[in-house]
Structure 1
């Protein structure tokens, strides 16, 4: 934590009240004031003038698969958090799979924390997992500070993290409601998936047919019904099907405690452009058509969708074989989420304030991270400094992810992250990372 007084000045500071020229004063790692652009700095303050580069709140990514320990060759805390810092992400929440052990008991959580603690370049928190066999472990995990509980309704892809059958879902949701916890769910209906054609092979059209919108729609409807009946707070992960949006909007209007997210790849990539055999584009649920993407953007604009997070789900290069049936499903985008979303957002007429709301304030609110998510007094001094008009071409070899596989390879994106600041300390600058790692391990804020 920075202990002196720091002043950052920019002609474009993105705050909850709007974007304006401002001076941000930081004391002890906390934002002390957001004042006029020309305000004199306090005596002895270190001043950094950012010029016309935009100062945004540090991004909060609540959907990251770090895979450490157990599958560290896919991704580890050191490499993942380096990528996060280089991409303007100052806080991430780690999913309970695909690590071994998964974060499904308090003891397993301690293993994860011990692994992350010396390696984290950004702040890191943890989701717990809800399995058919671990209902008794939910309270100990909750008491140990996890931010909520991840569940699958369809197979997860790894044997150690089985899906919840309908009865298991009811039991887990009821238990989580008793805790006033948060249930976050991969929403695809397994019966619908089983009835879909499963051809495999290199054709993306065949893969898309194997993960139909109906599978998402039916699962979302089931989750809304559970939330409505039990009062469980439910968050729908990585929504891909725009057909599910009216049900989510109606549930919210009725006061059902349901929220939903989408991801950069659903907002920036389309099924029509995925080459056959290009399994770096494979994810579940899948990247869908351009018209579907338009509806997701509209749902972000009207508040039906609450946030945009990466679902960074990496793997080793050899697992991305050119067969959509056999390849590992997951897109590596932790370092590229901000420029990818900003590139498309600016084309559609959205602002940096919109992006900050979707990628910082929204995820922070979801997780109850009340010190994150905004440039305003009392918050952690976590910042992303972005050159919004600058462009670059994605070179996979320049990324900090452990494995240089990305669906964005060769794309020209707008928005260059100049620097990233964590509690008043600059942790990344022009792609270079500060050492030693300065991230802290976070726990869910307890109720008073």
Structure 2
């Protein structure tokens, strides 16, 4: 393979945007020159940066591939500038709660990875004894729910289950990712009588559920010194709790998702189930606080929690928020959706680590997330100043159901390079199956 050289006036290297020529060959970065090389491709003012890393994705294969699948999910990731995803253990069937099930998922992904993919194990009641084998096989973390996951085959854990599992997880120094909603009974309200009302849906999953669950995970983190990660923080009231835990020195991290900083509850129309996710998208004032939490380091990085479903399961025709699958299809819009939401809050220099080096550090992917000699040649070339109206035709994931359709997003992806190969360019997939497994052994 011939060495490729790309020059830009704005390369993200040494934690700043600067002029550089990046050379790469055989999937690795071979040299960085801080001037233009005569034989380099000139990207002018487009940004050349490490490929985006999305550590919270539901691909749903095997078993629910009619919902999504590795082939379509990873094409959509590449179209959005994402070069590595980490797949969640549920929504596929079987769920990734045993070594045999994990091997089945690996097998199902073969020949379908257009970007790199890592995998989480699942923690459910009674499977603690299976965790070690999955760690040895290379999962990068463990996911649990503290409330019903939406799938009966992936039940939520109790405090007793956490007591059993966290010492094992701590021993292997991998993160335990928790869906933080905790409740004993449904909220008294008339959501049943108003199943198409977004405000009724929002009221049915209050911030208190999140706050109480975060309290529990902090307490358990303190007790077991187990690395804990709070996924998709939507309640701004939980931020001070997370901040205190970090100041205490506890091994705790937290994310939020593009949808929680891009959309606001006040603007969501009734009977439109494409916005339904759990926890719900909350009010604008709440979401402004989430944005600020990136600047203070309380929130560590951004993900999508891509959780697609077919139109009938999403109740598109009925608009019934009570019955609809809770999940937003957004894997393609981590970079441009998040930048659009945050561009008035922070600089590009503050933003870029939130989708590159910080998620790479979280999954302990030492070869990813920065542009350095010897690291993997995963890049995105994009123009943050150009904008694009998102159409159904532009979407690569399986079902063209997403709240980002008809949104004008800042940031146009010009090219996505995975392991040194161009996978996406000129609005189309160029080279398939260039992704690799990301296994932590």
For residue 329 of structure 2, the aligned residue among 327, 332, 355 is 332
In structure 2, the residue matched to 1:194 is 186
Once residues 28 and 235 of structure 1 are traced to their aligned partners in structure 2, the CA distance between those partners, rounded to angstroms, is: 34
Q: Does 1:437 align with 2:437?
A: no
Q: Which of 13, 16, 19 is the matching residue for 1:15?
A: 13
2:326 aligned counterpart, secondary structure: coil
- Tell me the TM-score normalized by structure 2: 0.96
Equivalent of 2:240 in 231, 241, 246? 246
- The Cα offsets for residues 22-65 of structure 1, whole Å up to 9 and x where unpaired, read as 11111332122322232455xxxxx3221211112100111000
Q: Secondary structure at the match of 2:356?
A: helix
Aligned to 1:287: 281
* Distance in 2, Cα, partners of 1:435 & 1:385: 16
SS at match of 2:18: strand
**d(CA) in 2 for partners of 1:198, 1:172:** 38
* CA 1:439–1:198: 2 relative to 1, 3 Å: farther
CA contact (8 A) 1:12 1:21 kept: yes
> Which of 304, 312, 317 is matched with 2:298 structurally?
304
- Name the counterpart of 2:103: 110
Mean Cα displacement is larger for which, 401-410 or 426-435?
426-435
Distance 1:254 1:158, change over 3 A: same
Shift of 1:434: 2.1
After TM superposition, give the deviation of residue 387 of structure 1 in Å: 1.3
Quote the offset at 1:17 in angstroms.
2.5
Q: Point out the more displaced range, 266-275 or 318-327.
A: 318-327
Measure the CA separation in 2 of the matches of 1:59 and 1:314: 20
User: 382, 389, 396: which one pairs with 1:386?
Assistant: 382
2:5 alignment partner, SS class: strand
DSSP-derived class of the 2:6 partner: strand
1:228: which partner in 2? 222
Contact 1:9 1:51 in 2 (8 A): yes
Out of 413, 419, 426, the residue aligned to residue 423 of structure 1 is 419
Q: Which residue of 2 aligns with 1:184?
A: 177
Conservation of the 8 A alpha-carbon contact between 1:155 and 1:190 = no
| Contact 1:10 1:37 survives alignment (8 Å) | no
Q: Which runs of 5+ in 1 are unaligned?
A: 42-46
Report matched runs for 1:43-58 at 5 Å: 47-58=40-51
Instruction: State the alpha-carbon separation in 1 of the partners of residues 373 and 287 from structure 2.
Output: 36
Inter-partner Cα distance in structure 1 for 2:170 and 2:397: 36
C-alpha change, 1:306 and 1:124, in structure 2 (3 Å) is same
Q: CA deviation at 1:259?
A: 0.4
Q: Deviation digits for residues 220-258 of structure 1, max 9, x if unmatched?
A: 010000000110100001110010011111111111001
Partners of 1:316 and 1:24 in 2: CA distance: 41
> More deviation in 193-202 or 312-321?
193-202
Residue of 319, 323, 336 corresponding to 2:320: 323
Rounded Cα–Cα distance in structure 2 between residues aligned with 1:10 and 1:332: 32
State the 4+ residue runs in structure 1 displaced beyond 6 angstroms. Answer: none
Indicate the RMSD between aligned Cα atoms, in angstroms. 1.3
- Alpha-carbon displacement from aligned partner over 1:156-187 (angstroms, at most 9, x marks no partner): 00011000012112212122112222211101
Paired with 2:432 and 2:187, the residues of 1 have a C-alpha distance of 51
Partner Cα distance (2:381, 2:171) in 1: 41
Shift in Å, 1:143: 0.6
Preserved CA contact (<8 Å) 1:198 1:207:
no
Structure 2: distance between partners of 1:274 and 1:129: 32
Answer with 175-184 or 302-311: which moved more. 175-184
- The whole-number CA distance in structure 2 between the counterparts of 1:324 and 1:218 is 24
Alignment of 1:17-416 (within 5 A): 17-40=15-38, 47-191=40-184, 194-197=186-189, 199-200=191-192, 201-321=195-315, 322-348=319-345, 350-416=346-412
- Alpha carbons 2:191, 2:197 under 8 Å: kept: no
Cα separation, 2, equivalents of 1:420 and 1:75: 21
Q: Structure 1 CA distance, aligned partners of 2:256 and 2:336?
A: 16
Alignment partners' CA distance in 1, 2:151 and 2:393: 28
Instruction: Tell me, in whole angstroms, the C-alpha distance in 1 between the residues paired with 2:59 and 2:15.
Output: 34
Residue 332 of structure 2 aligns to a residue whose secondary structure is coil
In structure 2, what is the Cα distance between the partners aligned to 1:397 and 1:384? 21
The 3-state SS of whatever aligns with 1:140 is helix
Instruction: Identify which range, 13-22 or 193-202, moves more after superposition.
Output: 193-202
Matched residue SS, 1:319:
coil
